[in-house]
Chains A and B, each alone.
Chain A
């Protein structure tokens, strides 16, 4: 009887703690949305922030975040894919492969602030790119690369062996098999992983404080010359992202409505992360149907 009672009590606690986590998440999301949503309006999303007066928006920050994301993905995807394919297809088990695996592991566990400081020293100061979107994108690449490598490697490893053997039987070269047989099959999980990783880039701030900078020049959204300092698409201008902006107004905000702006900006950030999560699943499913033979065979 005693064992059964202990079992019941333990089960109760396990269930209670598990539900507590669900409640914490529900509370978090609920709090962010309730506090932030009524502050979000079209003008909040598009107007520039005010430093000492109330009524500022997050327009440039939102644009910077999205632009930085695109820049980062342009650099990360080819590099991460290449390294991941190497790990999955070319690397032979041995000391060197073990060392590379260790490198990926260490790189992914470096605190983002250390990576940010490294970017400040090398990219911002030594290479002279200054506080710029480009410096930020390079640092985020360092930050995101190990994740991308792991995603690609796992995706390639989970492709059924028969697909590779079929390619070999057709007399294709190894690279041809990788690029035209394995890659399409691995693509859906790579895309899902990449979009999820992109959501992480959105929230990253510590590494960007010292590389992309904490300010944005007055942007002229009609100026599309990429070399002009006021052009939004100039990659060599300083750019404060949404996450950095939230940190800044919480730490040193002097606008009278700083708390509401932080709430609104947090809500926008969380909604973007939610959208990325849903997008990742949807895109993965669509690509799986499009890229594999599951439809054509049926």
Chain B
């Protein structure tokens, strides 16, 4: 009897000492994790600060007007025809055209894939497509660019007039790259739908397509739009794959199969050949600032869509 009484007393250290140890452990944990989070915040603030300070120098120090920069159609940073001109409208146009077109191609495919996985054959459909989507997401962008260059461009050259390079080639390559983004968001939304919704529609005698088109899709529309915006954001920022297939001509193309440029492709190609601090280099930084600004806009849109979905 005595021995049993004694054991817990021996096993437990004095309460004060234990509390001290607890405090020390918690202090270590809390400070370690807080430092990591603080670092994240430092990183983002410094990215925004440095890119903005470089990008704004074009307008503040070098005296390029914002209007000429955003809406000018001539890009002649070396001043081959007199004064250097920095009009980036062709690149802004190229970026928007490729990413919008890519979203337009990828969205219906993604929606069908997600419906296939959740509504048509939820069992083996998911087993078949889930790894496919993951692998498509895993293939590196330079490999997409390489395939674009060796398959898509020659195909377009044979079928359509022109060189094959251009916005159409860029959009096709990008559409495969953003397929996984849209699909996985759509699948998440579809599989978290309450069961009753679908069952009540079937109970009313609706066919599967009527249920999908009139009940399921309208309900998950904000989520699908979120996925499309995320995909577009990815397409907008993608650099190398697009650069390889778009042709990189500094003008607004007259057709989809004519050489064009995007913001990212120009930065990729020119940044290595310019001297830091020159107007040309600063103009490239301004384009990076524009890319960053677009990222913020995409994030805001996604946030707004998510808020709508919650209600």
- Interface residues of chain A, those whose CB is within 8 Å of chain B, are 3-4, 6-7, 10-11, 13-18, 20-22, 24-25, 28-29, 31-32, 35, 78-83, 85-87, 89-90, 100, 102-107, 109-115, 117-118, 120-122, 125, 142, 145-146, 149, 171, 173-176, 178-179, 196, 199-200, 202-206, 209-210, 214, 243-244, 246-247, 250-251, 259, 262-263, 266, 269-270, 273-274, 276-277
Q: Are B47 and A110 interface neighbours, CB within 8 A?
A: yes
In the bound complex, CA of A31 to CA of B150 (Å): 10
Q: Are B116 and A15 interface neighbours, CB within 8 A?
A: yes
Q: Which A residues lie within 8 Å of B238 (CB)?
A: 111
Contact A246 B50, CB 8 Å, known A18-B116, A206-B268 = no
- The total of chain B residues at the interface (CB under 8 A) is 88
Q: What are 16 contact pairs spanning A and B, CB under 8 A?
A: A6-B207, A17-B112, A20-B109, A100-B37, A105-B299, A113-B237, A114-B237, A117-B288, A118-B46, A145-B40, A175-B30, A178-B29, A200-B138, A203-B141, A209-B268, A250-B244
Q: Which B residues lie within 8 Å of A18 (CB)?
A: 112-113, 115-117, 120, 125, 129
Q: Which B residues lie within 8 Å of A3 (CB)?
A: 206-207, 209-210
Q: Are B292 and A109 interface neighbours, CB within 8 A?
A: no
Q: Are A100 and B40 interface neighbours, CB within 8 A?
A: yes
Instruction: Tell me which residues from 1 to 49 in chain B have a Cβ below 8 Å from any Cβ of chain A.
Output: 18, 21-23, 25-26, 28-30, 32-37, 39-41, 43-44, 46-47
In the bound complex, CA of A87 to CA of B37 (Å): 8
Q: Are A10 and B209 interface neighbours, CB within 8 A?
A: yes
**A18-B129, A203-B142, A266-B146 given. 12 additional CB < 8 A pairs?**
A7-B209, A18-B125, A21-B133, A111-B295, A113-B288, A114-B51, A118-B46, A149-B40, A176-B22, A200-B138, A246-B145, A269-B142
Q: Are B295 and A113 interface neighbours, CB within 8 A?
A: no
Q: Which B residues lie within 8 Å of A82 (CB)?
A: 32-33, 35-37
Q: Are A176 and B25 interface neighbours, CB within 8 A?
A: yes
- Interface residues of chain B, those whose CB is within 8 Å of chain A, are 18, 21-23, 25-26, 28-30, 32-37, 39-41, 43-44, 46-47, 50-51, 54, 108-109, 112-113, 115-117, 120, 125, 128-129, 131-136, 138-143, 145-147, 149-151, 176, 179, 206-210, 212-213, 230, 233-234, 236-240, 243-244, 264, 267-268, 271-272, 276, 285, 288, 291-292, 295-296, 298-299, 302
Q: Which A residues lie within 8 Å of B18 (CB)?
A: 171
Within the complex, the shortest CB–CB distance from A268 to chain B, in Å, comes to 10
Q: Which B residues lie within 8 Å of A110 (CB)?
A: 47, 237, 292, 295
Within the complex, the shortest CB–CB distance from B198 to chain A, in Å, comes to 14
Question: Which A residue's beta carbon lies closest to that of B298?
Answer: A109
Contact A210 B239, CB 8 Å, known A109-B298, A173-B25, A203-B141 = no
Question: Which A residue's beta carbon lies closest to that of B34?
Answer: A86
Q: Are A79 and B207 interface neighbours, CB within 8 A?
A: no
Q: Are B43 and A107 interface neighbours, CB within 8 A?
A: yes
Question: Which B residue's beta carbon lies closest to that of A125?
Answer: B276
Q: Which B residues lie within 8 Å of A107 (CB)?
A: 40, 43-44
In the bound complex, CA of A83 to CA of B43 (Å): 13
Q: Which A residues lie within 8 Å of B125 (CB)?
A: 18
Q: Which B residues lie within 8 Å of A259 (CB)?
A: 150
Contact A175 B26, CB 8 Å, known A87-B37, A106-B295, A250-B244 = yes
Q: Are A111 and B147 interface neighbours, CB within 8 A?
A: no
Q: Which of A196, A203, A214 meets B139, CB within 8 Å? A: A203
In the bound complex, CA of A91 to CA of B151 (Å): 49
Contact A111 B291, CB 8 Å, known A83-B36, A246-B146 = yes
**Secondary structure class of chain A's binding surface, majority of residues:** helix
User: Which 10 A-B residue pairs are closest in the complex by CB-CB distance?
Assistant: A203-B140, A111-B237, A175-B29, A82-B36, A17-B112, A18-B116, A86-B33, A173-B22, A7-B207, A83-B36
Q: Are B140 and A206 interface neighbours, CB within 8 A?
A: no
In the bound complex, CA of A121 to CA of B233 (Å): 24
Within the complex, the shortest CB–CB distance from B172 to chain A, in Å, comes to 11
Contact A111 B296, CB 8 Å, known A10-B212, A178-B29 = no
Q: Which A residues lie within 8 Å of B143 (CB)?
A: 32, 203, 246, 266, 269-270
In the bound complex, CA of A80 to CA of B32 (Å): 11
Q: Which A residues lie within 8 Å of B54 (CB)?
A: 121
In the bound complex, CA of A178 to CA of B98 (Å): 46
Q: Are A118 and B50 interface neighbours, CB within 8 A?
A: yes
Within the complex, the shortest CB–CB distance from A66 to chain B, in Å, comes to 15
In the bound complex, CA of A179 to CA of B272 (Å): 45
Question: Which B residue's beta carbon lies closest to that of A29?
Answer: B135
Q: Are A106 and B299 interface neighbours, CB within 8 A?
A: yes
Within the complex, the shortest CB–CB distance from B184 to chain A, in Å, comes to 13
Q: Are B147 and A28 interface neighbours, CB within 8 A?
A: yes
In the bound complex, CA of A16 to CA of B116 (Å): 10
Within the complex, the shortest CB–CB distance from B227 to chain A, in Å, comes to 13
Q: Are B33 and A83 interface neighbours, CB within 8 A?
A: yes
Within the complex, the shortest CB–CB distance from A108 to chain B, in Å, comes to 10
Q: Are B29 and A113 interface neighbours, CB within 8 A?
A: no
Contact A243 B50, CB 8 Å, known A15-B120, A117-B271, A206-B268 = no
Contact A6 B209, CB 8 Å, known A17-B112, A250-B244 = yes
Contact A113 B142, CB 8 Å, known A15-B120, A90-B30, A122-B50 = no
